[in-house]
Amino acid sequence: MDNHDDLSRFLASRRAKLSLEQVGLPDFGGRRRVPGLRREEVALLAGMSSEYYKRLERGNAKGASEAVIDGVSRALQLDEAEHSHLYELIRAANVGVHPARRRPTGKAQISATVQQTLDAMSTVPVYVQNGRLDAVATNRLGRALFSEMFEDSRQPVNAARFAFLDSRAQTFYRDWESNTRQIVALLRVEAGRSPFDRKLSDLVGELSTRSDLFRKLWGAHDVREHRSGRKNVHHPIVGDLDLDFLGLDLASGQSLQMLVFSAEPGSASHDGLQLLANWAATNTAGIQANNEAATKQAPGH
C-alpha cells in the first residue's frame, strides 16, 4: 500500500462527492471536467493557498499541521471516521517507510482473564476481532452464531474473506451488500492506521484479485466506524435473527474490538438465540464426548 497514493486518492474521492450547492459556493455555470469540487474550491473553503492544497492532494503532506487537517476536514465535510482516517494517512505519509514506526503485526491474543469474561457472557454471542477482521476469540454462542465462517480451514478465520469469497455469506447476511461495504470501510480504516502491515496488504491483494466487488469498493476509499448497529442474518440452524451489536475496544494495544450481539427481549430473534445456545451446548457436549472416547481408545489407555 502506497501511503502517498492513498492520501491522494482519498482526498480526490471526498472532493468528488461534494457539489457547489452543498458547500455554499456560487455556480457561475460553465463546463466542469470532473465531478464534485475543484481543488481550488477546496483550498478556498479550507483557508489555504491552491498550491498548498494541490501538493497535499498529490500526497506531499510535509509539515501538515492539525490546523491544516481540520481545515481540509471542514472543507470536505468529513465525518469523524473520515477525519481520523485523514489524520492517519497524513501521519503515515510524513513517517514514510521507517521500520521503527511500524505497528506490530504478530498474532493478536487475548488474556486468559478476557477469555473467562467472554465465556461468562453465556446468553449473548461475543466475538473479538483485530483490525484486519481476523477472528481472535469468541465465546461458545459467538462461535455458534458464525459457525459457517468458522468452518474455513484456513487460519486465521477472517470475516472479510468469508464475506467476499464464501458463497454462503450471501445467504447468511440478509443485507449482504451493506455488509460488504461496511467490511471494506473497516479495512480502509485499518490500512490508514497500520500502513506497514504486511498481512493486511496480503489480504487486500488476495481479495482484490479474487473479487471484482471488493476491488470496486476498495477503490471508493470509504471509511466507517464500527461502534453499534444491527446485523440481520439467516442462521442455518435457527433461521432469521435480527441482532443489535455493540463494539467495544479492548485496551490491549493490538487494535482488538469486542462485538457483543443481543436481541430484543420477547422477540422471535431472542427466542432464536436461546435455541442457538441450546444447540451450541448440545453440539459442544457431543464433540467433547467423541474426543474423550477417542482418547480412551488410543494406544496406551
The candidate with the shortest Cα–Cα distance to 83, out of 91, 100, 231, 213, is: 91
In a domain, 283, yes or no: yes
- Which percentage of the chain shows pLDDT scores above 70? 86
- Look over the chain and give the mean of its residue pLDDT values, rounded to a whole number: 88
Q: What is the mean pLDDT of residues 58-74?
A: 92
Least confident of 44-58, 122-136, 241-255: 241-255
In a domain, 214, yes or no: yes
Q: Same domain for 149 and 286?
A: yes
- Measure the CA dihedral 285/240/133/151, to 10°: 40
Q: Same domain for 227 and 128?
A: yes
In a domain, 204, yes or no: yes
pLDDT digits (tens, 9 = 90+) for 144-170: 999 999 998 889 999 999 999 999 999
Q: Kindly report the CATH number assigned to the domain that includes residue 66.
A: 1.10.260.40
Final residue before a domain boundary, out of 67, 101, 135: 101
In a domain, 297, yes or no: no
Asked whether the predicted pLDDT for residue 19 surpasses 60, the reply is: yes
Asked whether the predicted pLDDT for residue 96 surpasses 70, the reply is: no
Prediction pTM value: 0.86
Least confident of 110-114, 141-145, 187-191: 110-114
- Which percentage of the chain shows pLDDT scores above 90? 73
Least confident of 5-14, 169-178, 282-291: 282-291
In a domain, 300, yes or no: no
DSSP structure string for the chain = --HHHHHHHHHHHHHHT--HHHHT--------SSSS--HHHHHHHHTS-HHHHHHHHTT--TT--HHHHHHHHHHHT--HHHHHHHHHHHHHHHH-S-GGGPPP-S-----HHHHHHHHH-TTS-EEEE-TT-BEEEE-HHHHHHTTTGGG--SSS-BHHHHHHH-TTHHHHBTTHHHHHHHHHHHHHHHHHH-TT-HHHHHHHHHHHHH-HHHHHHHHTT-----SEEEEEEEETTTEEEEEEEEEEEESSSS-EEEEEEE--TTSHHHHHHHHHHHHHHHHHHHHHHHHHHHHHHSTT-
Q: Same domain for 129 and 253?
A: yes
In a domain, 106, yes or no: no
What pLDDT score does 2 carry? 61
Q: Same domain for 97 and 224?
A: no
Q: Same domain for 258 and 181?
A: yes
Sorted by sequence, the CB contacts under 8 Å of residue 197 that are 6+ apart come out as 102, 103, 105, 131, 132, 190, 191
Q: Same domain for 135 and 93?
A: no
Q: Cis link prior to 125 (omega < 30° from 0)?
A: no
Q: What is the mean pLDDT of residues 225-247?
A: 95
Q: Same domain for 93 and 185?
A: no
Q: Same domain for 45 and 162?
A: no
What pLDDT score does 100 carry? 41
Asked whether the predicted pLDDT for residue 98 surpasses 50, the reply is: no
Query: How big is the chain by its Cα radius of gyration, in Å?
Result: 23
What pLDDT score does 298 carry? 46
Domain assignment of residue 37, given as a range? 3-101
Q: Same domain for 77 and 122?
A: no
Q: Kindly report the CATH number assigned to the domain that includes residue 254.
A: 3.30.450.180
Final residue before a domain boundary, out of 78, 101, 124: 101
In a domain, 145, yes or no: yes
Instruction: Give the pLDDT band of residue 101 (cuts 50, 70, 90).
Output: very low
pLDDT digits (tens, 9 = 90+) for 211-231: 999 999 999 999 998 889 999
Asked whether the predicted pLDDT for residue 4 surpasses 90, the reply is: no
Asked whether the predicted pLDDT for residue 139 surpasses 80, the reply is: yes
Q: Same domain for 97 and 127?
A: no
What pLDDT score does 97 carry? 43
The candidate with the shortest Cα–Cα distance to 223, out of 74, 92, 84, is: 84
Final residue before a domain boundary, out of 81, 101, 121: 101
Are the CB atoms for 238 and 172 separated by under 8 Å?
Answer: no
Q: Same domain for 122 and 261?
A: yes
Asked whether the predicted pLDDT for residue 71 surpasses 50, the reply is: yes
Query: Distance of CA 195 to CAs 68, 92, 97, 132, 215, Å?
Result: 21, 7, 9, 12, 18
Asked whether the predicted pLDDT for residue 116 surpasses 80, the reply is: yes
Q: Same domain for 263 and 286?
A: yes
